[in-house]
Structures are given as C-alpha cells and as structure tokens.
C-alpha cells in the first residue's frame, strides 16, 4: 500500500507544469540539457520535480539557497536516473551545499596502529547517514564543462547508487542478477588495468582518482561515461558496454548527434 501511495504521489508531482524559469536555468547553466532529446528532456523534468519534492537542501557556510542551486544539482543527479526504474536515491534525505571547496577533518590509522587527524579539502562527499555534501563552485564548473570528464554531482550520486548494495563496493544494484558476473569481471579487469597504467606512467582516459578503490573507480567511470563517452568507448569498449547496460543510455551517440 505504501509503495502504491508513493507512486501515485510521484505521478501527481510529475504532472505539475515545469516552471519556465527552471528551463531557463538549465538552458543557461547546464549544456548537457541541449544534448538530450525532447523525450529525455520531458522525462528529466519529471524526475527533477520529484527529486526537489523529496530531498531537503541546506546551505552551509553562509550560502543562501536559490532555485539555480537546487535545480542545477537536481538535474545533474537525475541524469543518472533516465530510462531506469528508480527510487530517487532512497538512502538520501538531504544535500548540504557549501559555497566553495570546504575542509573536513579525517582520521587515519597508521601501520603502527596510531591514529592521526588530517584536514583535507573536499569538492563533495557522499555519506551513509542520508546526507550528501557538495561545493557549489565545483557543481557549477562541472555543469558548465561537459567534455572534461569531471562532474562532482555525477560522481557523488554514483556513490549513492553504489551504496544501495552496501556489502559490495563498486557494484550497484543491477537490473538483473545475471548481470553481476560480467560486471565483476569487466570492472575488476578495468580497475586492475588502471592501476597498471598508472604504475607504468601511461596516459589514461579515466581519472587517476579511480584507482583509489573499486567504489571510486565506479564513480570516476560514471563521470567519464557521461562526459567523455567517445574516448571511453574507443579505449574501454567493454567498460562502456557495462555502464550503458546499467544506465540504459548511450551518451556516445548523444554527443555524436549534437
């Protein structure tokens, strides 16, 4: 009963007229919007409305929230949901937005067993406590340049998808159980290849941060899939194929048509 009521409420939210000022925000700040077909734009508008209806935004460090901030983040997050059965990042309740790069205290355990605290600059991070953190300056930069392979919103929301299967980093909830074997084989091989390429000083299509661990590899691969699909498909066709099957999108064709 609860699921049925939720679906009905979401259908009502999607049926609302999409504000013209929100379209203007997308046209002015998010070039990826222009790559989408009319059908995909309409679907994305519905997802944006549901996302904004269900998620809470909080301005941090004195940032005053605006429609531009909320719509821009929602649009980028919902690109990952196009064409898929989705539950709008069910583990996520709120998005914390800082004006620019922020700093976080991190505890690390040394091989000796001692624990030290360091302060690190952050562009964004995805927590398991229902919160996701973003730097607005970096959100804007990621939205404006759709060819550099770097998008902090794509990255952090990929982590949200990954976290839906908490016991398996780098393997999100796939549409079919039969897909897991190929996913593990391909992404495992590609992750090891990235480690080897870095060790040998080779140039890589994927950002080197993807070598941190399998979870970061999936997040970095997601950024590359949506923003550098041509290069990814040429250099890593099997990885591209797995991501296309998961996201049910073909960004390479999307860019080629533009």
pLDDT in the model for residue 244: 97
The runs of H, that is alpha helices, within 55-163 are 67-79, 136-144, 152-162
| Structural tokens at position 182 | 């190929």
Domain ranges of the chain: 12-164, 167-258
Predicted model pTM: 0.92
CATH fold for domain 12-164: Cyclin A; domain 1 (1.10.472)
Q: Which two tokens stand for residue 143?
A: 């939205």
Q: Is 98 a residue whose pLDDT tops 80?
A: yes
CATH number of this structure's domain 167-258: 3.40.390.10
Output the six-digit token pair for 115.
Answer: 């624990």
Both tokens assigned to 122: 């952050």
Q: How many CA atoms lie within 13 A of 233 on its CB side?
A: 15
**Tell me, what's the pLDDT at 116?**
67
pLDDT score of 182: 95
pLDDT one-digit tens code per residue, 60-89: 999 999 999 999 999 999 999 999 988 999
Q: What is the rounded CA–CA span in Å between residue 147 and residue 168?
A: 30
């Amino acid at each position: 009963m609860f699921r049925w009521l939720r679906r009905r409420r979401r259908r009502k939210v999607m049926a609302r007229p999409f504000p013209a000022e929100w379209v203007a925000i997308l046209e002015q700040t998010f070039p990826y919007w222009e790559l989408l077909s009319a059908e995909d734009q309409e679907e994305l508008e519905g997802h944006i409305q549901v996302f904004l209806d269900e998620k809470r935004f909080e301005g941090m460090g004195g940032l005053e929230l605006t429609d531009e901030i909320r719509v821009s983040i929602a649009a980028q997050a919902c690109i990952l949901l196009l064409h898929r059965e989705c539950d709008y990042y069910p583990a996520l309740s709120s998005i914390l937005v800082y004006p620019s790069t922020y700093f976080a205290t991190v505890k690390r355990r040394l091989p000796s067993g001692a624990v030290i605290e360091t302060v690190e600059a952050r562009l964004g991070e995805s927590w398991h406590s229902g919160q996701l953190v973003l730097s607005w300056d970096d959100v804007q930069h990621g939205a404006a340049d759709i060819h550099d392979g770097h998008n902090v919103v794509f990255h952090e929301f990929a982590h949200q998808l990954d976290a839906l299967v908490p016991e398996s980093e780098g393997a999100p909830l796939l549409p079919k159980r039969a897909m897991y074997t190929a996913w593990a084989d391909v992404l495992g091989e590609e992750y090891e290849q990235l480690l080897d390429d870095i060790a040998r000083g080779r140039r890589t299509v994927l950002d080197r941060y993807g070598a941190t661990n399998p979870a970061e590899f999936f997040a970095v691969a997601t950024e590359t899939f949506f923003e550098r699909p041509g290069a990814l498909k040429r250099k890593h066709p099997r990885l591209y194929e797995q991501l296309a099957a998961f996201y049910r999108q073909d960004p390479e064709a999307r860019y080629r048509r533009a």
